[in-house]
A and B are shown apart, each in its own frame.
Chain A
Amino acid sequence: MPKITFIEHDGTVHTVDAELGASVMETALRNDISSIVAECGGGCTCATCHVYVDEAWLERVGPPSPSEDAELDAAFDVRANSRLSCQIKVTEALDGLIVRTPSYQGR
């Protein structure tokens, strides 16, 4: 089972098991990572599951789709490595992925 590490803005580190095919957002919710809000439940319509992908993983995770990039307009402190975690699917290739959460998800 791939592992994903979430580093919250206050420095708290969670390394958790992720189910293949689930999204990174779902993985966060199942593990009670409260800085992922996911108000819309994975619909790519709320921008409250914003994460920063660790630079070393950027290439493997890839860029946001045009609709995801548009939804990032509703996030704050958007950076070059910003993604919405509901749109990142867990694959074997992402075993060890590190993402950081922003200090504010809009609520």
Chain B
Amino acid sequence: MYAFEYHRPTSVKEAAGLAGQAEDTKFLAGGHTLLPTMKLRLAGPANLIDLGQIAELRGIERSGDTITIGAMMKHAEVANSAEVKQAIPALAEMAELIGDPHVRNRGTIGGSVANNDPSADYPAACLALNATIITNQRKIAADDFFQGIFTTALQEGEIITQVSFKVPSQAAYTKFRNPASRYALVGVFVAKHADGVRVAVTGAGSNGVFRLPEMEKALSGNFAAEAIDGIAVATDEMNSDIHADAAYRAHLVGVMARRAVQAAAARG
């Protein structure tokens, strides 16, 4: 790991100020992507701004048809939150599928969303649950936030403070995990909202997380697995690697989507 200056602000304002003053900064959330990347010297920021002591980045709150989660809430905290389990059990279950218990004790929702790893779970939840990404500067709809692998709408020095999810009537997340990394080979998050169904796919796309409008339309008419039986998923924008080629991934998207619909429908 290259040397860096370490900063430990106690407010979002202070953190943003530090990012504005210092050159070549990175924000440190749970560190479970950034620190391994720095250890490999793929990243070497001159200044590391630790968000771990900022109380205003924590908390989980239900308000009407939204549940809002502080950016520094850890995966284990989301998975075990009574509010999340009650409002969106699929979201709690998704958080429980990230990494392993130790990773879930450190990794955060804000870090995952900001990083937009093409195989991460939270981006799919954000799209399917029509989330709003709240930063220290603005509110960004999830549909506008994720812009390709490891690329988001965040500007330099902008800090995610909260992620706000719409509570669906039914939802489920199914994940086919890479058995070694535990990242999604394919993960599909399906959510039924009052204004229609959303289907979001992670792990599969060469351009990161994406929605499947054809499946969404079919499921909005009939929320049942057979409604999407004949819908083929295009292979041209699928990842292809030693773990699964594009055709395999495209097929798996259909399988996982049907399983997610079944699981969501069974939830009643």
A, B assembled together:
no
